Amino acid sequence: MTATMRPTPIIALDVPTTEQALALVGELGGSCRFYKIGNELFTNVGPEVVRRVRASGADVFLDLKLHDIPNTVAGGVRAAAAMGARLVTVHATGGLAMLRAAVEAGGTGCGVLAVTVLTSLTSDEIARSWGRGRGPVEVGDEVLRLAELAAEAGAHGIVCSGREARAVRERFGDRLTVLVPGVRAAGGAVQDQARVVTPSEASAAGATYVVVGRMVTGAPDRLAAMAAVNSELG
């Protein structure tokens, strides 16, 4: 497997207002310099929150999981890049033409990450919704199949669970960065996720980025929780 550096932690700003998001960014300060803005926050307040987080000196991962015809997705990625987003997600199942259009629109400043299989999905659910027969499917095979599309399109990387990250690294090396969501503390509640890992497990599997949410944002002492994540990542 290709040697990898310590993963970059990204804290999820899963809050409804700009004020709450900026309060978290300010509280964590220099302990975290990369933040995820997803559908809840972006739909509530729009592009301004991206610009304000960027103005604080932090980077933004805009997790919108775009999935549409190539021209429409290209327009969305182009807008994300203009806002200052460093990373943006699209669904790999949108197909090769859509992925290529997204990559071209992102240019050199905004890396496109192709979402493979959501961490909330089980193998039975994939079989049912993706038409893979009546029995369970091998999730890792689906992730690698979609990662191949992402690599062919020239994507910056892919999104997959920590359980599949090692196989992606072994297959693609440095051709694809790997972002791992669904990161939880050992023994912590998994909430609505089906395939979760700890920060150290994500790091050992070769993740480039790890997205951490309630493990930090829901902690009584967020700075201490962030320090623990940074320590666990190495």
Q: Is residue 127 part of a domain?
A: yes
DSSP string, 1-30: ----PPPEEEEE---SSHHHHHHHHHHHGG
| CA–CA distance, 61 with 11 (Å, rounded to integer) | 9
pTM exceeds cut of 0.85: yes
Helix (H) or strand (E) holding 183: strand 177-183
- Assess if residue 210 is contained within a domain: yes
**Mean local confidence (pLDDT), 120-137:** 66
- Is 129 or 66 the better-scoring residue by pLDDT? 66
Q: What is the mean pLDDT of residues 179-193?
A: 66
- Does residue 3 lie in a domain region? no
The first and second tokens of residue 25, run together, are 């960014």
Count up the domains in the chain and report the number. Answer: 1
Determine the Cα–Cα distance for residues 62 and 37; give it in Å rounded to an integer: 5
91-123 residue pLDDT tens: 999 999 999 999 999 999 999 999 998 877 667
DSSP state, residue 184: -
152 burial via Cβ count (<10 Å: 0-12, 13-18, 19+): exposed
Q: Is 90 exceeded by the pLDDT of residue 140? A: no
Residue 216 token pair? 């930090």
Alpha-carbon distance of 90 to 165, in angstroms, equals 18
Please report which confidence band the pLDDT of residue 84 belongs to, taking 50, 70 and 90 as the band edges: very high
- pLDDT (0 to 100) of residue 182: 78
CATH assignment of the domain containing 209: 3.20.20.70
Label residue 197 by pLDDT band (50, 70, 90): confident
1-23 pLDDT per residue, tens: 444 589 999 999 999 999 999 99
| In a domain? residue 82 | yes
62 in a structural domain: yes
In this structure, is residue 193 part of a structural domain?
yes
**What separation in angstroms does the CA of 76 have from each of 20, 59, 89, 102, 149?**
25, 18, 10, 8, 20
Q: What is the largest CA-CA distance in the chain?
A: 50
Quick one: pLDDT at residue 122? 67
Domain that holds residue 155: 8-232
Task: Give the SS3 label for residue 202.
Answer: helix
Mean pLDDT across 184-200: 64
| Average pLDDT in the chain | 90
Whole-angstrom Cα distance, residue 69 to residue 75? 10
Question: Is the residue at 180 inside a domain?
Answer: yes
Check if the beta carbon of residue 13 is closer than 8 Å to that of residue 35: yes
Mean pLDDT for 60-87 is 98
State mean pLDDT over 212-218: 93
Give the active site residues.
65
Is 70 within 8 Å of 101 (Cβ atoms)? yes
Q: For the chain, what percent of residues have pLDDT higher than 70?
A: 87
Alpha helical stretches, state H, the chain: 18-28, 39-45, 48-55, 70-83, 96-106, 123-130, 139-153, 162-172, 199-204, 214-217, 222-232
Answer whether residue 2 is part of any domain.
no
150: its two tokens? 């992402």
